[in-house]
Each structure stands twice: as C-alpha cells, then as structure tokens.
Amino acid sequence: MSPISPQITDLREKVPGENPSTGSHPEEEKEEASWWSVVWETIKYAIIAAVIIIPIRTFVAQPFIVSGNSMFPTYHNGEYLIVNELIKYVGDYERGDVVILRYPNDPSKYFIKRVIGLPGETVTIRDGVVSITSPVRTTPLVLDEPYVKNKKIDSSSRTLDDDEYFVMGDNRAQSSDSRVWGPVPRRLMNGEALLRLFPPSAIALHPGSLDSFGITSE
C-alpha cells in the first residue's frame, strides 16, 4: 500500500480578483501597462519631432529677433522673424532682399540689412542716391528706394568681388553697413527674412520685400 501523502493547503486568504502568483490585481497591472504605454508614446513622438525639427532648424529656417533701428521703418526693434536659410545652399540673393548676415568684423554678431549691390557690380552713392554699374551694365541703374525714409547725404563708390554683396540699412542715417565696414562675402550671408511672426499686428510673408513696395528687382 502506498503511503498517503499529506495534503498541503494554501492557507493564504484569497482576495477576489487577485493574481495568486504576483499578489497584484489585474486592474493594477493594466494601469501599469497603460502608464508605460504613455511613456513610450511620448518618447517616440519626441524622437520623431527631433528628427524633423533639428534638420529644419539647422538647414532650412531659424528664428531671429530684430535688434536696433537700422532697418526702421521697415522693421522695428524686437520684432520676431523666421529666416529662410535654404537660400544659402540653393538659389541666389537678389537686389532688394532683406537678409540676415554675420558681421564681417565679428562673425558672432548678426545684422539685418538689405542687399543693394550684387557680385561684380560697382555701387556708387552720390548725395545719398544709389546707382549701380557693372561690366555688362554700362548705363547706371539709379535705384528707386521707397523704403528709405531717413536718408543720409553721403558719397562713396565700391566695386565688389565675385562673391561679395553690398548691403545697407533702410534707416540710412542710423545704419552701420557696407558704407562703413565694406562688402559682405557670401559665406557670411545667413539667409533672407521669410516671415514676421511678432507682433501679431505685423505678421507678414517676406516683409519689406520689393514687391511690398510695388517695385521689381533689377
């Protein structure tokens, strides 16, 4: 006759709905799984956003806050802009473009100015009036500049190299620009003003462009 094995009884109090192996409720396990799901979804969307936003911020668009009054009244101190940086890699700057550039004497500083002279041209200023000549333009082009409200009666002349731009502020009497520190090499041109986002009352696409003044680039 085989020995009788004693029957072992689990004397723990069984709680209704409890998982005997873990001692936890199914509802608690569901809450924990739901919490980890939320965390994972947050991480996933953060990674996706970084993959999209970082290249855009690096190569396509950058924010810029106007400092000073050198572009008054086209731009005012404190305005918030989005700068199109893609033009650094694809396309060319045109006369009349409003650009963000690195100050040639200290590239850590950024200025906002308007493109006046293009590579290879000669920019002549006589009594505040700007004219353009080049090897292919022997008849001077006298610029129509309705954006200039505060002229400076000065005179100078500068011939640009093949990779240089002549820039000036719209507030000619209070702008430090190519008249003072010379032309800007293309490598220091950081993009064009694409969008003004602040203040809300001044939101505009390509603010200060020649089209907004009813004139076309020459």
Query: What are the residue boundaries of the structural domains of the chain, listed by start?
Result: 24-63, 66-120+160-213
The low-confidence residues of the chain, meaning pLDDT below 50, are: 1, 4-15, 18-19, 21-22, 49-57, 59
Give the C-alpha separation, 185 to 136, whole Å.
Answer: 21
**pTM value?**
0.73
Which of 21, 37, 109, 113 is the catalytic position? 113
Bridge partner residues of 215 (DSSP):
none
The answer to whether the CB of 165 falls within 8 A of the CB of 114 is: no
Give the C-alpha separation, 62 to 81, whole Å.
Answer: 8
**Which residue type sits at 176?**
S
The answer to whether the CB of 175 falls within 8 A of the CB of 167 is: no
Q: What is the pLDDT of residue 212?
A: 83
Sign of the alpha-carbon dihedral angle for 9, 10, 13, 15:
negative
Q: What is the pLDDT of residue 76?
A: 96
Q: What is the pLDDT of residue 185?
A: 97
CATH of domain 66-120+160-213: 2.10.109.10
Q: What is the pLDDT of residue 69?
A: 95
Give the C-alpha separation, 74 to 143, whole Å.
Answer: 17
In order of 21, 148, 179, 198, the CA distances from 169 in angstroms are 76, 9, 10, 20
Which of 70, 175, 178, 209 is the catalytic position? 70
Q: pLDDT tens digit string along 15-38?
A: 455 445 445 555 655 666 677 777
Q: Is 149 a catalytic residue?
A: no
